[in-house]
Amino acid sequence: MAKENISFTSHLIDFSLEQEERYTQVVKQVFADYGKSYSNIQYIFCSDAYLLELNKTHLNHDYYTDILTFPYGTELIESDIFISIDRVKENAKTFKVSFENELARVILHGVLHLVGLDDHSKADTAKMRNQENHYIDMILNQKS
């Protein structure tokens, strides 16, 4: 069996995830709840400029986004998940939520895509939001 690894790192920005173990446990819980196997999930926190460049290069999209998920495995899920900290800060202001809440939402959004959830229709988006909120609650309201 492949080694399961979830990691968080930063690329060209000064950012580190607080309570990394809590996030790791909840991401593992998402995989368990959906019955999915994974080997290596790497979250990379970066700037708007870097994520825009990835969006242009790999998806031919010329716009800012908060997250790009690059899945590599099919049966055994592997992925690099890039998150723009600039965009998360901006979204938190726009949606009038804390930075921590928005960061948790984006982190969970990526892994929920990996386990099969989508957000192309209103019904899919509602299910995605419901699951994001469920897992955000686990992260933010867990007793230390």
57-85 pLDDT, tens digit per residue, is 999 999 999 999 999 977 789 999 999 99
| Confidence grade of residue 141 (pLDDT, cut at 50, 70, 90) | confident
Helix (H, G, I), strand (E, B) or coil at 80: strand
Mean predicted confidence (pLDDT) in 130-137? 97
CATH number, domain with residue 90 = 3.40.390.30
Residue 23: what pLDDT?
97
Residue 18: what pLDDT?
93
Residue 42: what pLDDT?
97
State how many domains the chain has.
Answer: 1
Whole-structure pTM value: 0.93
In terms of residue numbers, what domain contains 90?
Answer: 5-140
The answer to whether 101 and 92 have CB atoms below 8 angstroms apart is yes
94-128 pLDDT, tens digit per residue, is 999 999 999 999 999 999 999 999 999 999 999 99
Q: 20-29, long-range: CB within 8 Å, 24+ apart, which pairs?
A: 22/139, 22/142, 23/104, 23/107, 23/139, 26/108, 26/135, 26/138, 26/139, 27/107, 27/108, 27/111, 28/4, 29/135, 29/138
With a cut of 50, say whether residue 144 has pLDDT above it: no
- Eight-state DSSP code of residue 115: T
Please report which helix (H) or strand (E) contains residue 3, including its range: none
What is the DSSP track for 11-65? SSS----TTHHHHHHHHHHHHHHTT-EEEEEEEEEE-HHHHHHHHHHHH---S--
7-46 pLDDT, tens digit per residue, is 999 999 999 999 999 999 999 999 999 999 999 999 999 9
Residue 127: what pLDDT?
97
